Amino acid sequence: MKGLMRIGVFGGTFDPIHSGHLRAAEEVKEKLRLDRVLFIPTGSPPHRLMPGADAGQRLAMVRHALRDHSDFEISDLEIKRPGKSYTVDTLARLNQLRPQDEFFLILGTDQLLELGHWYAPEQIFQYARIIAITRPGVTPPVLQDVLSTAGLLKFRRKISLLAVTCLDISSTDIRHRLKAGRSIRYLVPEAVRKYIEKNRLYRQK
């Protein structure tokens, strides 16, 4: 039987992980009464250019960020897998590893808008519900349009929109600040800031 544990799956490049990610995950966990949130840094991202920090460094930063939260866990599933990482493969593997648990795929609405272009979107819904956390600029009527354009309207009930406190922080902005030699204090957990400083990440080459 399903439902032994309710597990949030939060994938991202996390280049670097920041307080926007962490706050969003915390609120989703609280609102949906999840038992755990699994943070899964991507290996080689199919949809974007190569990140600024390498996989080991991104993994280390996530580890530092999650250190004090007993319900947040890290998974190196995608980083260890050779080649491109597709969400559907990750979810299939998680279902295989933990067949009794129920999975909730946490996405920013920016990513949800891309769903029609993902690999095997229909299969994704076999393995997880989708929780789209609202970020500024995307409203529910748009979601309806996106699903109908992608031919995914029949999965409407497997998607929930969840409003979270939006911290206007992005990894891109953090990388820009670092490149310009500016402060990122309080945008990321202190342990992550220290790791970035110690390893001189994202500096002007």
Where does this chain bind ligand ATP (CB under 6 A)? 12-15, 20-21, 24, 107-108, 110-111, 133, 135, 166-167, 169-172
Q: Which is nearer to ligand ATP, 71 or 100 (CB)?
A: 71
- Least distance in angstroms from the C-beta of 42 to ligand ATP: 8
DSSP 44: B
Q: Which is nearer to ligand ATP, 126 or 172 (CB)?
A: 172
- Least distance in angstroms from the C-beta of 173 to ligand ATP: 7
- Report how far residue 117's alpha carbon sits from residue 110's, in angstroms, rounded to the nearest whole number: 13
- Least distance in angstroms from the C-beta of 10 to ligand ATP: 7
Q: Which is nearer to ligand ATP, 100 or 165 (CB)?
A: 165
Q: Which is nearer to ligand ATP, 15 or 78 (CB)?
A: 15
* Helix, strand or coil, per DSSP, at residue 83: coil
- Least distance in angstroms from the C-beta of 193 to ligand ATP: 16
* Helix, strand or coil, per DSSP, at residue 89: helix
Nearest residue to ligand ATP, scored by beta-carbon proximity: 108
* Pair of tokens at residue 205: 């080459």
Residues 6+ apart with CB under 8 A from 109: 132, 133, 134, 135, 138, 143, 161
Burial code of 102-139, b = ≥16 C-beta within 10 A, e = fewer?
bbbbbbbbebbbebeebeebeebbebbbbbbbbbeebe
Q: Which is nearer to ligand ATP, 95 or 170 (CB)?
A: 170
- Least distance in angstroms from the C-beta of 94 to ligand ATP: 17
